[in-house]
Structure 1
């Protein structure tokens, strides 16, 4: 576990340094995470975001206030008719998020440029497994669009029954 802990610490260090040093206009880490979650799940209230990230609502309120001030998110009525207003990404927020994702993916492509496609897929699979294991322990699941996995933020996955052909 010592080696795993050290390597994960180093991995997070590389991402933080790359974010700040290469382009000071890139989104702050909290903004990137909040916008990514809203982008994946759709409009969310402050309470839903706090629950999804396991944070105090006052912390999320401060972070989302910064998004609102910068024009990266906007408050909208709950599309489902609920009482709480929700946060939705603005066009500018979507543009900035897409730019950051593109920059992150470009950096990752350089890091694994000499890896085979099979090695990249293996790393992806292991990281998904690691993240899902951590999510299961916390009881907070991150929806993954590639899986069609759009369950609410803090509910465990629902086992899918195989489709039965119609008679």
Structure 2
């Protein structure tokens, strides 16, 4: 008999396989979804406000060259823009453009619709409990990793 932690490890593996929720809800036009890395990066800038490459590197634990490529692609697509540091610092920062905010909102709503489909037969209490457990799980990782995600 597998231990509870073994069961969690298996379900986490299966969950990671299904991490692209855009595959669940196919009502979106082809090509309208953001790539996973773009969705995550835009979500972080949306949650935290304008961020420099150094701040993004610290937040994600990624090297600067990787983030330079990602932010260049998002800037080229009109989803991010470079601005002077609003706090007067030397480093320029990235913030969402109006189009970036719109596309991020659409992507977020598509994820929520997909989750609504997956959990359509769950009680509201079960959904609330699941959200609480996920937050607890994620904050446990963040505590060990040292890179918390900004939350309300």
Q: Give secondary structure in 2 for the equivalent of 1:74.
A: strand
1:110 aligns with 2:123: no
Q: Normalization by structure 1: what TM-score?
A: 0.82
Partner of 1:66: 73
Partner of 1:19: 22
Partner of 1:49: 56
Aligned-partner Cα distance in 2 for 1:19–1:128: 22
1:83 aligns with 2:86: no
Q: Which runs of 5+ in 1 are unaligned?
A: 146-167
Partner of 2:140: 133
Q: Give secondary structure in 1 for the equivalent of 2:81.
A: strand
CA shift for structure 1 position 20: 5.5
Contact 1:67 1:73 in 2 (8 A): yes
CA shift for structure 1 position 19: 2.6
Q: How many residues align?
A: 144
Question: Structure 1 segments of 4 or more deviating over 3 A?
Answer: 20-23
Contact 2:22 2:110 in 1 (8 A): no
Aligned-partner Cα distance in 2 for 1:42–1:69: 20
Q: Normalization by structure 2: what TM-score?
A: 0.90
Q: Which runs of 5+ in 2 are unaligned?
A: none
CA shift for structure 1 position 10: 1.5
Higher relative contact order (CA 8 A, sep 6+): 2
Partner of 1:156: none
